[in-house]
Chains A and B, each alone.
Chain A
Amino acid sequence: MKLYKCSLTELKNMIEEKRVKLQDIHESISYRTTHTDPIIKAYVNKNETYNIDELDQNNYKDTYLKGLPIAIKDNISIEEIKTTCSSKMLEEYVPPYNATVVEKIKEAGGIITGKTNMDEYAMGSSTENSAFFPTVNPWGKNRVPGGSSGGSAAAVAAGMVPVSLGSDTGGSIRQPASFCGVVGLKPTYGAVSRYGLVAFASSLDQIGPLARNVEDIALMMNVITGRDEKDSTCVNRDYPDFTEYLKNDVKDMKIGIPDQYFDIDFDQEVRESVLNAVEKLKKAGAKIERVSLTGAEYALAAYYIIATAEASSNLARYDGVRYGLRAEGADNLKKMFTETRQQGFGEEVKRRIMLGTYVLSSGYYDDFYLKAQKVRTLIKNDFDQLFTDYDLILSPTTPTTAFKIGEKRDPLKMYAADIFTVPVNIAGIPAISVPCGFDQKGLPIGLQLMGAHFKEEKLIQAAFSLEKILNLDIKYPALK
């Protein structure tokens, strides 16, 4: 048996039952990575601070994760390991502190294998905006893995690591999960600490797990959720043991299917695959009804105003004064600022900073930012209203399967790819993307389930059931 193919849960069980050695797991993963990553390019930096030969499995005996490997998106700070956000600006930046999720993973006995590639500062849907190199979708080498957590999704899909962490501001976990045929969960805003996550849009960003099955997602949620005194927006509440909800049972679960989402013109194969899954859920006893949920297209507009506004402020600190890139040869302060930012940021990042600066400018604030915030409230209310009657809302994760590298040159077309995922961030609710089939090109299709605030356990239960009902035979991608 190839250990790298095993899920986190399987590996955990095998270690607990002393059927496998921790070193062998890491060896297998490392071997797989050495042979796969030169093609996929999921990692930006490997963690060089640990040595497999020196791993002692006894040190992890009493921990939850038993010393098992986890990959982390490169916008999550780890002490003494580069955190580049796939940007030239931070190419050499080494944080002096750990993100709270990293602390939690370390306490739980997880071993971080490395930092995964992403769209620069998490801005993008294809990982082509990485300043270093694009990541390749393991399901087709001319295909993008999605983004911005493309490296995290591709690493998991290609068997380089069982689970990874990504971040999701407008779909950045769910969309690459969908493109790469893995499971990805965006938790409720405030369920996971953002401390140490390099901010893109503070009111939308949320860290979440990616894995090859729902079970592993539940395991990771047990590790990363919870209050953090370092993050005032992180909510103080108790979380259940999410693995308790790994039940194949959707009986009497009420699931809404928004007409407006299915009225959108999107890929026929994606539509059929999602509707096929709906039929199977119905057969399993779920109560599925058509519902009205307005505002998806407004959500996209509001999103690109709020996200860019916050980004323009969050990314202002990269000025060359304290850390990161500083342009050489600038002979005055203004030049140092402008040349540093000119050289350090890529095109998409600059575009969003400019958009955000514009919408916050005096005279435009009311028309853009304020209006977007009002739209946000309306969208949130719409969701809240629906969740008084429904347990979950179902939609495709993305309008298409993975597109070709270099195919989407028009930024507006790229932004439109977020249409199903963005409303979730705007409303702050949790959502999960689960594979529901393949198109004729053999590319994975993802289905999205959305839940009420802090109802991740329902998402996990429904996603787990769907996984069992569909029983997809997700083979490892051929990696040609």
Chain B
Amino acid sequence: MDNKYETIIGLEVHTQLDTKSKIFCSCSTEFGSEPNTNTCPVCLGLPGTLPVLNKKAVDYLIITGLALNCEIAFYSKFDRKNYFYPDLPKAYQISQFDLPLAKNGYIKVETEEGIHRIGITRIHLEEDAGKLIHEGSIDQSSGSLVDYNRTGVPLAEIVSEPDIRTPEQAREYLNYLKKTLEYLKVSDCNMEEGSLRCDANISLRLHGNKKFGTKVELKNMNSFKAIEKALAYEQKRQRKMLENDKKIVQETRTWDENKSKTISMRGKEEANDYRYFPEPDLVPLEIDEKWKKDIEERLPELPAVKRKRFIDEYNLPEYDADVITDSRDLADLFENSVSEYKDAKVVSNWIMGEFLRLINEEKTAIEDTKITGQLLAKMLKMIDQDIISSKIAKTVFEEMFYTGKDPEEIVKEKGLKQISDQGELESLVEKIIDENPSVIDDIKNGKDKAVGYLVGQVMKETKGKANPQMVNKMFKEKIK
């Protein structure tokens, strides 16, 4: 679209790690609790308290680093990032400065322009701050309330290289990260609940130039869509300025969703000096080979690999593979079914159809449903064995979805077994023939399609339980 300038984007993602307790104390990380109930002297930063590292948070960070092709540091440490703000009880954030736990990784994203490699500079562990509640800006508001429940929730900060060239790539990068973190089950990446936040750096330079242009930091984007929009807006704004020989100022700009534009927040001269220094209250972190190995063994198959394998191994169409590998739980459900029921496409149809329909209707998480791969496979076999019709199967499936009961049991309880008894069906067929003389005439006059109507009548009488193939055959024989 524009040949003169190249856009350079780097992203900084903060994602909450889904540990049960906080990073430096034993308080719960649960979202949505009463304000200031998930707190203790440690996370409130009371005088004399000390942090103790939650090893689980380290595990989660290492597995994330491995999944994003990073080197894991065998020696790493924590540092204090000092600044004053009411949501930061110690007036410093325990973070990692020069020795992050993971670095030098990369991911590959696919857009319409092809496959693009995006480097990951570093991933480090830090603690989250609390939440301020006030009207407008803190200095205009008559007061402010603080909720420290979020203080000390572990965060992974994932910093990309300035390798992103378009807003679309940025979106794809984020989608990839989100999907990966969800696969690893280390974060739920919920932007509304603030468990994933993203800042962006963007600058423009003339094509062919080695030197970067002046960068602008973008903040306050609350969805992937907003990030893409903000970057596109900023790309256009900077281009216009450069084309008019205006200088870009190094600054932080905030995204205004309502006005769909970025607004200047603060300049470079107001930037904080965080006075980082090693956290003396924690000992350096040493990751031995065994610790790393143990985590490596727990590393699940990642979405892109799984997608390719599903296409190769199960002959799934690309579309099906995309949908099914979108979530690890969905993919697991699929594979568990396929291990007992060989027709992968049938399994995929049921998962993409009935299963996702119910998930969307009920707005539940996949992992919270009662359906298992074993149950689905068993039900599909029952269809093949003419025990139930495909239509009845939908009723059985819904029942399984809500109760987790065995399909055989459901069929027995509800009397859903298919009627395949020759005599029983014959009397029904004869009854329908007697009741519909005009339809019979139509058929005799060559209107073959009307047979379907008669079959439908039998199905209605039996509440769908009649074996439709048998009924169809009987009508054809009798009317000839």
Chain B residues in 8 Å Cβ range of A76: 48
Are B277 and A316 interface neighbours, CB within 8 A?
no
Complex CA–CA separation, A100 to B44 (angstroms): 18
Complex CA–CA separation, A77 to B49 (angstroms): 9
Name A96's contact: one of B46, B52, B80, B281 (CB within 8 Å): B46
Complex CA–CA separation, A361 to B283 (angstroms): 23
| B383 is an interface residue with CB less than 8 A from chain A | no
A199-B47 contact, Cβ under 8 Å, with A233-B283, A316-B92, A369-B277 = yes
Are A232 and B51 interface neighbours, CB within 8 A?
yes
| A203 is an interface residue with CB less than 8 A from chain B | yes
Which A429-461 residues have a C-beta within 8 angstroms of B?
none
Say which one of B83-91, B216-224, B358-366 lies at the interface with A. Answer: B83-91
Closest A residue, CB atoms, query B148: A322
Complex CA–CA separation, A317 to B42 (angstroms): 13
| A298 is an interface residue with CB less than 8 A from chain B | no
Which B21-77 residues have a C-beta within 8 angstroms of A?
41, 44-53
Complex CA–CA separation, A198 to B48 (angstroms): 4
Chain B residues in 8 Å Cβ range of A321: 86, 89, 146
Name B52's contact: one of A197, A229, A369 (CB within 8 Å): A229
A202-B275 contact, Cβ under 8 Å, with A97-B46, A317-B45, A333-B86 = no
Chain A residues in 8 Å Cβ range of B50: 194-195, 230-233
Complex CA–CA separation, A242 to B146 (angstroms): 48
Complex CA–CA separation, A361 to B274 (angstroms): 8
Are B46 and A313 interface neighbours, CB within 8 A?
no
Which B88-116 residues have a C-beta within 8 angstroms of A?
89-92
Binary contact readout B200-231 vs A (1 if CB under 8 angstroms, 0 otherwise): 00000000000000000000000000000000
Binary contact readout A378-414 vs B (1 if CB under 8 angstroms, 0 otherwise): 0000000000000000000000000000000000000
Are A96 and B41 interface neighbours, CB within 8 A?
yes
| A51 is an interface residue with CB less than 8 A from chain B | no
Are B138 and A333 interface neighbours, CB within 8 A?
yes
Most A-side CB within 10 Å, residue of B45, B89, B281: B281
Are B275 and A357 interface neighbours, CB within 8 A?
yes
Q: How far is the CB of A272 from chain B (nearest CB, A)?
A: 40
Are A95 and B275 interface neighbours, CB within 8 A?
no
Are B48 and A313 interface neighbours, CB within 8 A?
no
Chain A residues in 8 Å Cβ range of B48: 75-77, 83, 95, 99, 194-199
| A253 is an interface residue with CB less than 8 A from chain B | no
Chain A residues in 8 Å Cβ range of B91: 313, 316-317, 319
| A309 is an interface residue with CB less than 8 A from chain B | yes
Chain A residues in 8 Å Cβ range of B280: 201-203, 233, 310
Name B275's contact: one of A90, A195, A313 (CB within 8 Å): A313
| B2 is an interface residue with CB less than 8 A from chain A | no
Q: How far is the CB of A102 from chain B (nearest CB, A)?
A: 10
Binary contact readout A46-68 vs B (1 if CB under 8 angstroms, 0 otherwise): 00000000000000000000000
Chain B residues in 8 Å Cβ range of A312: 82, 275
Are B90 and A317 interface neighbours, CB within 8 A?
yes
Are B52 and A362 interface neighbours, CB within 8 A?
no
| B139 is an interface residue with CB less than 8 A from chain A | yes
Binary contact readout B296-314 vs A (1 if CB under 8 angstroms, 0 otherwise): 0000000000000000000
Complex CA–CA separation, A317 to B276 (angstroms): 16
What's the A-B contact tally at a CB cutoff of 8 Å? 102
Complex CA–CA separation, A75 to B48 (angstroms): 8
Are A333 and B139 interface neighbours, CB within 8 A?
yes
Binary contact readout A175-203 vs B (1 if CB under 8 angstroms, 0 otherwise): 00000000000000000001111110111
Chain A residues in 8 Å Cβ range of B146: 321
Complex CA–CA separation, A233 to B91 (angstroms): 21
Complex CA–CA separation, A333 to B53 (angstroms): 31
Chain B residues in 8 Å Cβ range of A262: none
| B273 is an interface residue with CB less than 8 A from chain A | yes
Chain A residues in 8 Å Cβ range of B138: 333
Are B86 and A319 interface neighbours, CB within 8 A?
yes
| B282 is an interface residue with CB less than 8 A from chain A | yes
Q: How far is the CB of B401 from chain A (nearest CB, A)?
A: 45
Are A95 and B41 interface neighbours, CB within 8 A?
yes
Are A97 and B41 interface neighbours, CB within 8 A?
yes
Name B84's contact: one of A83, A194, A232, A337 (CB within 8 Å): A337
Chain A residues in 8 Å Cβ range of B46: 77, 95-97, 323
Are A360 and B277 interface neighbours, CB within 8 A?
yes
Complex CA–CA separation, A93 to B46 (angstroms): 10
| A471 is an interface residue with CB less than 8 A from chain B | no
Complex CA–CA separation, A195 to B49 (angstroms): 6
| A304 is an interface residue with CB less than 8 A from chain B | no
Closest B residue, CB atoms, query A358: B275
Complex CA–CA separation, A75 to B281 (angstroms): 17
Are B52 and A317 interface neighbours, CB within 8 A?
no
| A132 is an interface residue with CB less than 8 A from chain B | no
Q: How far is the CB of B474 from chain A (nearest CB, A)?
A: 78
| A415 is an interface residue with CB less than 8 A from chain B | no
Q: How far is the CB of B278 from chain A (nearest CB, A)?
A: 8
Q: How far is the CB of B130 from chain A (nearest CB, A)?
A: 10
Are A313 and B277 interface neighbours, CB within 8 A?
yes
| A133 is an interface residue with CB less than 8 A from chain B | no
Chain A residues in 8 Å Cβ range of B52: 229-232
Complex CA–CA separation, A365 to B97 (angstroms): 14
Q: How far is the CB of A283 from chain B (nearest CB, A)?
A: 43
Chain B residues in 8 Å Cβ range of A96: 41, 46
Chain A residues in 8 Å Cβ range of B47: 77, 83, 85, 90, 93, 95, 198-199, 317
Are B41 and A233 interface neighbours, CB within 8 A?
no
Q: How far is the CB of A196 from chain B (nearest CB, A)?
A: 4
Closest A residue, CB atoms, query B138: A333
Complex CA–CA separation, A343 to B277 (angstroms): 27
Complex CA–CA separation, A230 to B273 (angstroms): 31
Complex CA–CA separation, A303 to B408 (angstroms): 78
Complex CA–CA separation, A196 to B46 (angstroms): 9
Q: How far is the CB of A318 from chain B (nearest CB, A)?
A: 8
Most B-side CB within 10 Å, residue of A85, A194, A316: A316
Complex CA–CA separation, A93 to B48 (angstroms): 12
Closest B residue, CB atoms, query A231: B50
Closest A residue, CB atoms, query B82: A313
| Residues in chain A within 8 A of chain B (CB atoms) | 75-77, 83, 85, 90, 93, 95-97, 99, 194-199, 201-203, 229-233, 309-310, 312-313, 316-317, 319, 321-323, 332-333, 337, 357, 360-362, 365, 369
- Residue pairs across A and B with Cβ atoms less than 8 A apart, 28 shown, are A75-B48, A90-B47, A93-B47, A95-B46, A95-B47, A96-B41, A198-B48, A199-B281, A201-B280, A202-B281, A203-B280, A229-B52, A232-B53, A232-B281, A232-B283, A233-B50, A233-B283, A313-B82, A316-B84, A316-B90, A316-B92, A317-B47, A317-B89, A323-B46, A333-B139, A357-B275, A360-B82, A365-B277
- Given A201-B280, A233-B283, 18 extra CB contacts under 8 A: A83-B47, A90-B47, A195-B48, A195-B49, A197-B48, A230-B50, A232-B50, A310-B277, A312-B82, A313-B275, A313-B277, A316-B90, A317-B47, A319-B84, A321-B89, A322-B44, A360-B275, A365-B275
Closest 3 CB pairs of A and B: A316-B91, A203-B280, A360-B275
| Residues in chain B within 8 A of chain A (CB atoms) | 41, 44-53, 80, 82, 84, 86, 89-92, 138-139, 146, 273, 275-277, 280-283
